[in-house]
């Protein structure tokens, strides 16, 4: 974890948010006054934004030197500094792709980086005043998303599901971005701030929210073996086991969570994505055969076509859903 003092943005580092917990959305309709469809909670999570959270998977892929250099880069960029000491030029080449899903706000602040004699130089896309406003708005949005979804007592498994469900209700797929060469803004930043985009936007956004809560998560790039179509989803670690989560595919279901907690085999079945072709973290270092994704704990949810209600009950989340036959079932997450 890093601690930042945003000296370039005045009091931006103390953005306040409302104590009121907003309700989730059901079928794209505001249900803020509908008690039957709310995620019931007794207090906000008290969560405060950290620009990015490092996890063990990143260390495995990129190493500690990259961690140190990226840490320095984030500190410099969020404080609108023009340069910083960087130990490795090759690491600066990786910042651009890595920042998209690890610290998404940088994708709209930073225009380019260059390296010379141990120093990395940063050029910006916006003015310092505009950068401060963007950082403040992003911080407020992330704190709002986490605090309206989770409470202090939630387990990681509860947080991961509640973040997924709440975030999913807000999303709209941008079909124009898929078919237009002129629209290139696919970054997770857009998925978090505008609630629209494509698979890269949503998987990156969800992974970022999980990491913000201390849950190890990243993105996975894959290509369908039969349809030759590229796709991106999330890899999340809960209680020591990895699972695949696909918010984009769930948008097709409109109100189900059938692509939550998938195993390796389930991911192959849903889209014909072969593990050997996966690119985990966009790193080129790990594929789907390098990660064990075998726990079928969430198998019951794969048959959900409609979520009727999500309720918090003490130390558990109760998911009420309907299957293809219209039968209402219950799944508990602790």
Which residues of the chain carry a pLDDT beneath 50? Answer: 1-5, 11-38, 40-42
Q: Does 293 lie in the same domain as 163?
A: yes
Considering only CA atoms, which of 84, 90, 56, 89 is closest in space to residue 71? Answer: 84
pLDDT at 184: 62
Q: Does 119 lie in the same domain as 157?
A: no
pLDDT at 197: 94
How many domains are there within the chain? 2
Q: Does 200 lie in the same domain as 116?
A: no
Q: Is residue 70 part of a domain?
A: yes
pLDDT at 186: 78
Q: Is residue 211 part of a domain?
A: yes
| b/e map 234-261, b = 16+ CB within 10 Å | bbbbbeeebbbbbbbbbeeeebbbbbbb
Q: Is residue 36 part of a domain?
A: no
Considering only CA atoms, which of 217, 245, 218, 221 is closest in space to residue 232? Answer: 221
Q: Is residue 183 part of a domain?
A: yes
pLDDT at 153: 84
CA 310 – CA 331 distance, rounded (Å): 10
Torsion sign over Cα 300, 305, 308, 312: positive
| b/e map 52-78, b = 16+ CB within 10 Å | bbbbebbeebbeeebeebbbbbbbbbb
CA 186 – CA 204 distance, rounded (Å): 10
Write the CA distances from 216 to 3, 25, 324, integer angstroms: 19, 26, 32
Longest dimension (CA), the chain: 66
CB 161 within 8 A of CB 218: no
**Radius of gyration from C-alpha coordinates of the chain:** 20
Regarding pTM above 0.85, the answer is yes
Q: Is residue 37 part of a domain?
A: no
Q: Does 247 lie in the same domain as 190?
A: yes
Q: Does 260 lie in the same domain as 160?
A: yes
Q: Is residue 319 part of a domain?
A: no
pLDDT at 11: 44
Parent domain of 233:
144-299
């Amino acid at each position: 974890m890093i601690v930042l003092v945003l000296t370039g943005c005045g009091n931006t580092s103390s953005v306040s948010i409302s104590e009121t917990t907003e309700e989730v959305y059901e079928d794209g309709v505001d249900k803020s006054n509908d008690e039957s469809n709310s995620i019931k909670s007794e207090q906000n999570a008290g969560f405060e934004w950290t620009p990015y959270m490092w996890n063990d998977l990143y260390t495995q892929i990129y190493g500690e030197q990259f961690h140190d250099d990226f840490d320095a880069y984030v500190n410099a960029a969020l404080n609108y500094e023009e340069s910083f000491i960087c130990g490795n030029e090759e690491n600066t080449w990786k910042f651009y792709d890595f920042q998209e899903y690890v610290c998404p706000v940088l994708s709209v602040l930073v225009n380019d980086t260059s390296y010379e004699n141990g120093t990395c130089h940063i050029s910006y896309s916006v003015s310092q005043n505009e950068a401060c406003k963007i950082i403040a708005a992003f911080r407020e949005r992330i704190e709002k998303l986490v605090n309206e979804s989770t409470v202090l007592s939630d387990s990681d498994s509860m947080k991961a599901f509640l973040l997924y469900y709440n975030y999913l209700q807000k999303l709209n797929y941008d079909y124009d971005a898929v078919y237009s060469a002129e629209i290139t803004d696919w970054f997770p930043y857009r998925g978090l701030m505008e609630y629209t985009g494509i698979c890269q936007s949503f998987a990156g956004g969800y992974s970022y929210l999980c990491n913000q809560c201390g849950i190890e998560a990243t993105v996975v790039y894959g290509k369908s073996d039969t349809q030759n179509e590229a796709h991106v989803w999330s890899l999340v670690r809960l209680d020591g086991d990895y699972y695949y989560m696909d918010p984009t595919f769930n948008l097709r279901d409109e109100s189900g969570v059938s692509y939550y907690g998938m195993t390796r085999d389930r991911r192959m079945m849903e889209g014909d994505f072969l593990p050997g072709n996966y690119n985990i973290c966009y790193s080129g270092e790990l594929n789907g055969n390098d990660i064990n994704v075998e726990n079928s704990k969430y198998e019951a949810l794969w048959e959900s076509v409609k979520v009727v209600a999500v309720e918090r009950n003490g130390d558990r989340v109760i998911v009420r859903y309907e299957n293809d036959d219209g039968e209402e079932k219950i799944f508990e997450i602790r």
